[in-house]
Chains A and B, each alone.
Chain A
Amino acid sequence: MFDFAIAGVQAPIFLLVLVGLTVGIVGGFIGVGGGYMVTPALIVFGFPGYMASGIDMTHIAGKGLVSTVRHRQLGNIDWTLALSMIAGTMLGVELGVRLLVYFKHLGISGVVLLVTSVAVMFTLFLYTQFETSRAHKKMEEMEKAGEKLGRELQTSSLPTYFQALPLAPIVNCRTARVIVSMWVIVLVGMVTGVLAGFLGVGGGFIRVPALVYVVGASTHIAVGTDLVEIVVSGAYGALRHSIEGNVDLMAVLFMITGAMIGAQVGSIATSYVRGPAIRYILSYSLILATLGAALRLIYVLTGQNVEWLSLAAVVLTLGEMIFLCLFISSLVWFAVRRRAGKWVPDWVAPLVV
Protein backbone atom coordinates (compact mmCIF):
# COMPACT_ATOMS: atom_id res chain seq x y z
CA MET A 1 0.00 0.00 0.00
CA PHE A 2 1.22 3.49 -0.83
CA ASP A 3 -0.06 6.66 0.78
CA PHE A 4 -1.07 9.10 -2.00
CA ALA A 5 -0.98 12.31 0.04
CA ILE A 6 -2.55 14.68 -2.51
CA ALA A 7 -5.48 12.36 -3.23
CA GLY A 8 -5.70 11.32 0.45
CA VAL A 9 -5.91 7.64 -0.56
CA GLN A 10 -3.99 4.45 0.17
CA ALA A 11 -3.75 2.10 -2.81
CA PRO A 12 -1.54 -0.84 -3.90
CA ILE A 13 1.25 0.37 -6.23
CA PHE A 14 1.33 -2.79 -8.33
CA LEU A 15 -2.38 -2.43 -9.22
CA LEU A 16 -1.74 1.08 -10.57
CA VAL A 17 1.24 -0.17 -12.59
CA LEU A 18 -0.87 -3.10 -13.83
CA VAL A 19 -3.73 -0.84 -14.91
CA GLY A 20 -1.23 1.44 -16.70
CA LEU A 21 0.37 -1.55 -18.44
CA THR A 22 -2.88 -3.19 -19.58
CA VAL A 23 -4.54 0.02 -20.76
CA GLY A 24 -1.24 0.99 -22.43
CA ILE A 25 -1.27 -2.23 -24.47
CA VAL A 26 -4.95 -1.83 -25.40
CA GLY A 27 -4.57 1.91 -26.17
CA GLY A 28 -1.52 1.41 -28.39
CA PHE A 29 -3.27 -1.42 -30.24
CA ILE A 30 -6.72 0.04 -30.91
CA GLY A 31 -5.84 3.76 -30.71
CA VAL A 32 -7.82 4.79 -27.64
CA GLY A 33 -6.88 6.61 -24.45
CA GLY A 34 -8.80 4.08 -22.36
CA GLY A 35 -10.45 6.62 -20.08
CA TYR A 36 -13.67 4.58 -20.05
CA MET A 37 -11.69 1.78 -18.37
CA VAL A 38 -9.18 3.73 -16.22
CA THR A 39 -11.49 6.23 -14.50
CA PRO A 40 -13.89 3.54 -13.11
CA ALA A 41 -10.85 1.44 -12.07
CA LEU A 42 -9.29 4.35 -10.15
CA ILE A 43 -12.61 5.06 -8.44
CA VAL A 44 -12.69 1.39 -7.42
CA PHE A 45 -9.19 1.80 -5.91
CA GLY A 46 -10.60 4.57 -3.72
CA PHE A 47 -9.65 7.75 -5.63
CA PRO A 48 -12.34 10.45 -5.66
CA GLY A 49 -14.08 10.87 -9.06
CA TYR A 50 -12.50 14.22 -9.95
CA MET A 51 -9.03 12.95 -8.98
CA ALA A 52 -9.54 9.73 -11.00
CA SER A 53 -10.44 11.81 -14.05
CA GLY A 54 -7.39 14.11 -13.61
CA ILE A 55 -4.92 11.24 -13.07
CA ASP A 56 -6.41 9.38 -16.04
CA MET A 57 -6.15 12.39 -18.37
CA THR A 58 -2.54 13.15 -17.34
CA HIS A 59 -1.39 9.57 -17.87
CA ILE A 60 -3.24 9.45 -21.23
CA ALA A 61 -1.25 12.47 -22.48
CA GLY A 62 2.09 10.76 -21.68
CA LYS A 63 1.06 7.34 -22.90
CA GLY A 64 -0.52 8.76 -26.08
CA LEU A 65 2.77 10.47 -26.91
CA VAL A 66 4.72 7.19 -26.64
CA SER A 67 2.15 5.35 -28.80
CA THR A 68 2.15 8.19 -31.36
CA VAL A 69 5.95 8.11 -31.70
CA ARG A 70 5.85 4.32 -32.21
CA HIS A 71 3.00 4.52 -34.75
CA ARG A 72 4.87 7.27 -36.60
CA GLN A 73 7.86 4.94 -36.92
CA LEU A 74 5.50 2.25 -38.25
CA GLY A 75 4.11 4.72 -40.84
CA ASN A 76 0.61 4.64 -39.38
CA ILE A 77 -0.04 8.39 -39.09
CA ASP A 78 -1.60 10.57 -41.77
CA TRP A 79 -0.74 14.11 -40.65
CA THR A 80 -3.07 15.81 -43.15
CA LEU A 81 -5.98 13.82 -41.78
CA ALA A 82 -4.92 14.37 -38.15
CA LEU A 83 -4.42 18.13 -38.44
CA SER A 84 -7.61 18.62 -40.50
CA MET A 85 -9.63 16.85 -37.84
CA ILE A 86 -8.26 18.66 -34.79
CA ALA A 87 -10.26 21.90 -35.33
CA GLY A 88 -13.54 19.96 -35.68
CA THR A 89 -12.72 17.86 -32.62
CA MET A 90 -12.02 20.90 -30.42
CA LEU A 91 -15.25 22.63 -31.50
CA GLY A 92 -17.18 19.39 -30.96
CA VAL A 93 -15.76 18.86 -27.46
CA GLU A 94 -16.78 22.39 -26.47
CA LEU A 95 -20.35 21.79 -27.78
CA GLY A 96 -20.47 18.43 -25.98
CA VAL A 97 -19.42 19.98 -22.67
CA ARG A 98 -22.11 22.70 -23.04
CA LEU A 99 -24.70 20.01 -23.76
CA LEU A 100 -23.62 18.20 -20.60
CA VAL A 101 -23.94 21.41 -18.56
CA TYR A 102 -27.48 21.86 -19.96
CA PHE A 103 -28.52 18.37 -18.81
CA LYS A 104 -26.79 18.99 -15.46
CA HIS A 105 -29.05 22.03 -14.95
CA LEU A 106 -32.06 19.81 -15.67
CA GLY A 107 -30.77 17.42 -12.98
CA ILE A 108 -30.71 14.33 -15.21
CA SER A 109 -27.07 14.29 -16.38
CA GLY A 110 -26.17 10.97 -14.68
CA VAL A 111 -28.90 8.86 -16.29
CA VAL A 112 -28.65 10.65 -19.68
CA LEU A 113 -24.87 10.06 -19.71
CA LEU A 114 -25.20 6.35 -18.97
CA VAL A 115 -28.05 5.85 -21.48
CA THR A 116 -26.09 7.71 -24.21
CA SER A 117 -22.92 5.72 -23.41
CA VAL A 118 -24.79 2.41 -23.66
CA ALA A 119 -26.59 3.43 -26.89
CA VAL A 120 -23.49 4.80 -28.67
CA MET A 121 -21.15 1.99 -27.64
CA PHE A 122 -23.66 -0.77 -28.40
CA THR A 123 -24.45 0.66 -31.87
CA LEU A 124 -20.74 0.96 -32.67
CA PHE A 125 -20.18 -2.59 -31.39
CA LEU A 126 -22.95 -4.01 -33.59
CA TYR A 127 -21.74 -2.27 -36.75
CA THR A 128 -18.03 -3.02 -36.17
CA GLN A 129 -18.70 -6.64 -35.22
CA PHE A 130 -21.05 -7.22 -38.18
CA GLU A 131 -18.69 -5.64 -40.72
CA THR A 132 -15.53 -7.27 -39.31
CA SER A 133 -17.13 -10.73 -39.27
CA ARG A 134 -18.02 -10.26 -42.94
CA ALA A 135 -14.45 -9.16 -43.76
CA HIS A 136 -13.04 -12.07 -41.72
CA LYS A 137 -15.21 -14.58 -43.62
CA LYS A 138 -14.10 -13.11 -46.94
CA MET A 139 -10.45 -13.33 -45.89
CA GLU A 140 -10.90 -16.97 -44.82
CA GLU A 141 -12.31 -17.77 -48.28
CA MET A 142 -9.42 -15.93 -49.97
CA GLU A 143 -6.92 -17.79 -47.78
CA LYS A 144 -8.48 -21.15 -48.69
CA ALA A 145 -8.42 -20.21 -52.39
CA GLY A 146 -4.69 -19.45 -52.02
CA GLU A 147 -5.13 -15.75 -52.84
CA LYS A 148 -2.67 -13.22 -51.41
CA LEU A 149 -4.09 -11.21 -48.51
CA GLY A 150 -3.29 -7.54 -47.97
CA ARG A 151 -2.93 -5.86 -44.59
CA GLU A 152 -6.45 -4.47 -44.79
CA LEU A 153 -9.88 -5.58 -45.93
CA GLN A 154 -13.10 -3.82 -45.04
CA THR A 155 -16.49 -4.44 -46.59
CA SER A 156 -18.45 -1.29 -45.69
CA SER A 157 -19.73 0.81 -48.60
CA LEU A 158 -20.06 3.97 -46.48
CA PRO A 159 -16.57 5.39 -47.33
CA THR A 160 -17.36 5.27 -51.09
CA TYR A 161 -20.43 7.43 -50.46
CA PHE A 162 -18.59 10.00 -48.31
CA GLN A 163 -15.53 10.15 -50.60
CA ALA A 164 -17.82 10.96 -53.54
CA LEU A 165 -19.21 14.13 -51.89
CA PRO A 166 -18.08 17.03 -54.14
CA LEU A 167 -17.63 19.69 -51.44
CA ALA A 168 -14.51 21.86 -51.90
CA PRO A 169 -11.81 21.89 -50.61
CA ILE A 170 -10.95 18.30 -51.45
CA VAL A 171 -8.00 16.96 -49.44
CA ASN A 172 -5.51 14.36 -50.59
CA CYS A 173 -4.42 12.30 -47.56
CA ARG A 174 -1.36 10.60 -49.07
CA THR A 175 -0.45 8.17 -46.28
CA ALA A 176 -4.06 7.05 -45.84
CA ARG A 177 -4.49 6.96 -49.65
CA VAL A 178 -7.78 8.76 -49.31
CA ILE A 179 -9.12 11.72 -51.32
CA VAL A 180 -12.06 13.26 -49.51
CA SER A 181 -13.76 16.59 -48.82
CA MET A 182 -12.21 18.54 -45.93
CA TRP A 183 -15.77 19.04 -44.62
CA VAL A 184 -16.22 15.31 -44.14
CA ILE A 185 -13.06 15.16 -42.01
CA VAL A 186 -14.02 18.26 -39.98
CA LEU A 187 -17.55 16.91 -39.50
CA VAL A 188 -16.22 13.53 -38.32
CA GLY A 189 -14.00 15.40 -35.82
CA MET A 190 -16.91 17.54 -34.68
CA VAL A 191 -19.50 14.79 -34.23
CA THR A 192 -17.05 12.50 -32.42
CA GLY A 193 -15.90 15.55 -30.40
CA VAL A 194 -19.48 16.30 -29.27
CA LEU A 195 -19.89 12.72 -28.07
CA ALA A 196 -16.45 12.76 -26.40
CA GLY A 197 -17.12 16.09 -24.66
CA PHE A 198 -20.58 14.98 -23.58
CA LEU A 199 -19.51 11.58 -22.30
CA GLY A 200 -16.32 12.98 -20.71
CA VAL A 201 -13.95 10.65 -22.58
CA GLY A 202 -11.14 11.08 -25.12
CA GLY A 203 -13.36 9.66 -27.85
CA GLY A 204 -10.91 7.24 -29.50
CA PHE A 205 -13.45 4.42 -29.49
CA ILE A 206 -15.79 6.61 -31.56
CA ARG A 207 -13.15 8.25 -33.81
CA VAL A 208 -11.36 5.06 -34.93
CA PRO A 209 -14.53 3.45 -36.40
CA ALA A 210 -15.50 6.84 -37.86
CA LEU A 211 -12.11 7.17 -39.61
CA VAL A 212 -12.46 3.64 -41.02
CA TYR A 213 -16.15 3.64 -41.97
CA VAL A 214 -16.73 7.29 -42.92
CA VAL A 215 -13.39 8.65 -44.15
CA GLY A 216 -12.22 5.28 -45.51
CA ALA A 217 -8.77 5.10 -43.86
CA SER A 218 -7.26 1.68 -43.16
CA THR A 219 -7.54 0.48 -39.55
CA HIS A 220 -3.79 0.89 -38.89
CA ILE A 221 -3.86 4.49 -40.16
CA ALA A 222 -7.05 5.20 -38.17
CA VAL A 223 -5.35 3.98 -34.97
CA GLY A 224 -2.14 6.01 -35.50
CA THR A 225 -3.97 9.15 -36.62
CA ASP A 226 -6.43 9.00 -33.75
CA LEU A 227 -3.57 8.83 -31.27
CA VAL A 228 -2.44 12.28 -32.44
CA GLU A 229 -5.88 13.59 -31.41
CA ILE A 230 -5.57 11.74 -28.10
CA VAL A 231 -2.23 13.47 -27.35
CA VAL A 232 -3.69 16.92 -28.12
CA SER A 233 -6.89 16.44 -26.10
CA GLY A 234 -5.00 14.58 -23.33
CA ALA A 235 -2.40 17.36 -22.98
CA TYR A 236 -5.11 20.03 -22.80
CA GLY A 237 -7.11 17.97 -20.28
CA ALA A 238 -3.98 17.32 -18.17
CA LEU A 239 -3.22 21.06 -18.08
CA ARG A 240 -6.79 21.95 -17.06
CA HIS A 241 -6.93 19.25 -14.38
CA SER A 242 -3.49 20.24 -13.03
CA ILE A 243 -4.59 23.87 -12.67
CA GLU A 244 -7.71 22.69 -10.81
CA GLY A 245 -5.55 20.53 -8.47
CA ASN A 246 -7.12 17.26 -9.65
CA VAL A 247 -3.83 15.43 -10.28
CA ASP A 248 -1.83 13.27 -7.85
CA LEU A 249 1.55 13.11 -9.57
CA MET A 250 2.71 10.02 -7.66
CA ALA A 251 -0.29 8.05 -8.92
CA VAL A 252 0.39 9.32 -12.45
CA LEU A 253 4.05 8.28 -12.08
CA PHE A 254 3.17 4.69 -11.12
CA MET A 255 0.56 4.39 -13.83
CA ILE A 256 2.77 5.85 -16.51
CA THR A 257 5.59 3.42 -15.59
CA GLY A 258 3.37 0.57 -16.76
CA ALA A 259 1.73 2.58 -19.53
CA MET A 260 5.05 3.52 -21.21
CA ILE A 261 5.91 -0.18 -21.62
CA GLY A 262 2.33 -1.16 -22.51
CA ALA A 263 1.95 1.58 -25.12
CA GLN A 264 5.06 0.40 -26.97
CA VAL A 265 4.00 -3.25 -26.81
CA GLY A 266 0.47 -2.42 -28.06
CA SER A 267 1.74 -0.21 -30.89
CA ILE A 268 4.30 -2.78 -32.09
CA ALA A 269 1.65 -5.53 -31.83
CA THR A 270 -0.32 -3.83 -34.64
CA SER A 271 2.43 -4.78 -37.07
CA TYR A 272 1.69 -8.48 -36.41
CA VAL A 273 -1.99 -8.33 -37.36
CA ARG A 274 -4.28 -7.33 -40.21
CA GLY A 275 -6.91 -4.56 -39.97
CA PRO A 276 -9.88 -6.79 -39.04
CA ALA A 277 -8.01 -8.12 -35.96
CA ILE A 278 -7.74 -4.57 -34.60
CA ARG A 279 -11.43 -3.95 -35.34
CA TYR A 280 -12.36 -7.19 -33.55
CA ILE A 281 -10.48 -6.08 -30.42
CA LEU A 282 -12.14 -2.66 -30.67
CA SER A 283 -15.59 -4.26 -30.90
CA TYR A 284 -14.86 -6.53 -27.90
CA SER A 285 -13.73 -3.50 -25.94
CA LEU A 286 -16.99 -1.76 -26.88
CA ILE A 287 -19.31 -4.59 -25.85
CA LEU A 288 -17.56 -5.09 -22.49
CA ALA A 289 -17.61 -1.35 -21.79
CA THR A 290 -21.32 -1.34 -22.79
CA LEU A 291 -22.04 -4.12 -20.30
CA GLY A 292 -20.17 -2.23 -17.56
CA ALA A 293 -22.13 0.98 -18.29
CA ALA A 294 -25.42 -0.99 -18.46
CA LEU A 295 -24.74 -2.53 -15.04
CA ARG A 296 -24.02 0.93 -13.58
CA LEU A 297 -27.23 2.25 -15.23
CA ILE A 298 -29.35 -0.53 -13.69
CA TYR A 299 -27.61 0.10 -10.33
CA VAL A 300 -28.56 3.80 -10.51
CA LEU A 301 -32.14 3.09 -11.70
CA THR A 302 -32.72 0.59 -8.86
CA GLY A 303 -31.89 3.29 -6.30
CA GLN A 304 -28.34 1.94 -5.70
CA ASN A 305 -29.75 -0.86 -3.53
CA VAL A 306 -28.66 -3.97 -5.44
CA GLU A 307 -25.09 -4.46 -4.19
CA TRP A 308 -24.11 -7.33 -6.50
CA LEU A 309 -24.62 -5.03 -9.52
CA SER A 310 -21.92 -2.70 -8.21
CA LEU A 311 -19.61 -5.68 -7.54
CA ALA A 312 -20.28 -7.10 -11.04
CA ALA A 313 -19.41 -3.72 -12.61
CA VAL A 314 -16.08 -3.66 -10.69
CA VAL A 315 -15.13 -7.21 -11.74
CA LEU A 316 -16.18 -6.49 -15.34
CA THR A 317 -14.07 -3.30 -15.50
CA LEU A 318 -10.93 -5.12 -14.29
CA GLY A 319 -11.77 -8.26 -16.30
CA GLU A 320 -12.17 -6.26 -19.50
CA MET A 321 -8.62 -4.89 -19.28
CA ILE A 322 -7.14 -8.34 -18.62
CA PHE A 323 -9.25 -9.92 -21.39
CA LEU A 324 -8.21 -7.41 -24.07
CA CYS A 325 -4.54 -7.75 -23.11
CA LEU A 326 -4.69 -11.54 -23.24
CA PHE A 327 -6.40 -11.43 -26.65
CA ILE A 328 -3.85 -8.99 -28.11
CA SER A 329 -0.88 -10.92 -26.66
CA SER A 330 -2.24 -14.23 -27.94
CA LEU A 331 -2.74 -12.80 -31.45
CA VAL A 332 0.93 -11.75 -31.49
CA TRP A 333 1.92 -15.19 -30.19
CA PHE A 334 -0.15 -16.88 -32.93
CA ALA A 335 1.45 -14.57 -35.54
CA VAL A 336 4.94 -15.57 -34.37
CA ARG A 337 3.95 -19.27 -34.46
CA ARG A 338 2.51 -18.88 -37.95
CA ARG A 339 5.69 -17.20 -39.19
CA ALA A 340 7.64 -20.14 -37.79
CA GLY A 341 5.40 -22.53 -39.76
CA LYS A 342 3.74 -23.94 -36.62
CA TRP A 343 0.04 -24.76 -36.14
CA VAL A 344 -2.45 -21.97 -35.44
CA PRO A 345 -6.27 -22.21 -35.32
CA ASP A 346 -7.97 -21.74 -38.72
CA TRP A 347 -9.82 -18.60 -37.63
CA VAL A 348 -6.52 -16.91 -36.62
CA ALA A 349 -4.66 -17.42 -39.91
CA PRO A 350 -6.36 -14.60 -41.92
CA LEU A 351 -6.10 -12.17 -39.00
CA VAL A 352 -2.33 -12.24 -38.51
CA VAL A 353 0.54 -11.23 -40.78
Chain B
Amino acid sequence: MKWFLNSMLGYWVLLLAISLGAAAIIYEIWLKGRV
Protein backbone atom coordinates (compact mmCIF):
# COMPACT_ATOMS: atom_id res chain seq x y z
CA MET B 1 0.00 0.00 0.00
CA LYS B 2 2.90 2.32 0.86
CA TRP B 3 4.26 1.99 -2.69
CA PHE B 4 1.03 3.45 -4.08
CA LEU B 5 1.64 6.69 -2.18
CA ASN B 6 5.42 6.95 -2.01
CA SER B 7 6.09 6.29 -5.68
CA MET B 8 4.74 8.54 -8.41
CA LEU B 9 4.16 5.51 -10.64
CA GLY B 10 2.33 3.75 -7.82
CA TYR B 11 0.11 6.78 -7.23
CA TRP B 12 -0.58 6.94 -10.98
CA VAL B 13 -1.60 3.28 -11.03
CA LEU B 14 -3.81 3.69 -7.93
CA LEU B 15 -5.70 6.70 -9.31
CA LEU B 16 -6.07 5.11 -12.74
CA ALA B 17 -7.52 1.94 -11.21
CA ILE B 18 -10.03 3.98 -9.15
CA SER B 19 -10.98 6.10 -12.18
CA LEU B 20 -11.44 3.21 -14.58
CA GLY B 21 -13.46 1.37 -11.92
CA ALA B 22 -15.73 4.42 -11.48
CA ALA B 23 -16.07 4.76 -15.27
CA ALA B 24 -17.00 1.07 -15.59
CA ILE B 25 -19.69 1.52 -12.87
CA ILE B 26 -21.11 4.59 -14.67
CA TYR B 27 -21.17 2.60 -17.91
CA GLU B 28 -22.91 -0.39 -16.30
CA ILE B 29 -25.58 1.68 -14.56
CA TRP B 30 -26.40 4.45 -17.04
CA LEU B 31 -24.90 3.77 -20.43
CA LYS B 32 -25.11 0.04 -21.15
CA GLY B 33 -27.33 -0.58 -24.15
CA ARG B 34 -27.11 3.04 -25.31
CA VAL B 35 -23.61 2.86 -26.87
Contact = CB atoms under 8 A, between A and B. Distances in A.
In the complex, which range does the number of interface residues on chain B fall in? 20 to 34
A202 B12 CA distance: 27
Interface string B1-23: 00001111001100110111011
A316 B20 contact: yes
Interface stretch (A87-95, A107-115, A156-164, A323-331): A323-331
A243 B27 CA distance: 33
A284 interface: yes
A197 to B, nearest CB: 29
Interface residues of A, number: 23
A318 B35 contact: no
B34 A46 contact: yes
Greatest chain B CB density within 10 A among A44, A316, A323 is at: A323
A314 B25 CA distance: 12
B34 to A, nearest CB: 5
Nearest to A351: B8
- Classify the secondary structure of A's interface with B: helix
Nearest to B8: A347
Contact of A314 (B7, B12, B35): B35
25 contacts: A12-B30, A44-B34, A45-B31, A45-B34, A310-B35, A311-B27, A311-B35, A314-B31, A315-B20, A315-B24, A315-B27, A318-B23, A319-B19, A319-B24, A320-B19, A322-B22, A322-B23, A323-B18, A323-B19, A323-B20, A327-B15, A345-B5, A345-B8, A346-B6, A347-B11
A15 interface: yes
Contact of A326 (B19, B27, B34): B19
Interface in A271-309: 284
B7 to A, nearest CB: 7
Interface of B: 5-8, 11-12, 15-16, 18-20, 22-24, 26-27, 30-31, 34-35
Contacts of B26: 15, 318
A75 B35 CA distance: 43
Contacts of B23: 314-319, 322
A323 B11 contact: no
A280 B33 CA distance: 35
B16 A323 contact: yes
Nearest to A347: B8
Nearest to B6: A345
The 10 tightest CB contacts between A and B, nearest first, are A323-B19, A318-B23, A319-B23, A322-B19, A319-B20, A319-B19, A347-B8, A315-B23, A326-B15, A322-B22
Contacts of B20: 315-316, 319, 323
B4 to A, nearest CB: 10
A314 B5 contact: no
Contacts of B22: 318-319, 322
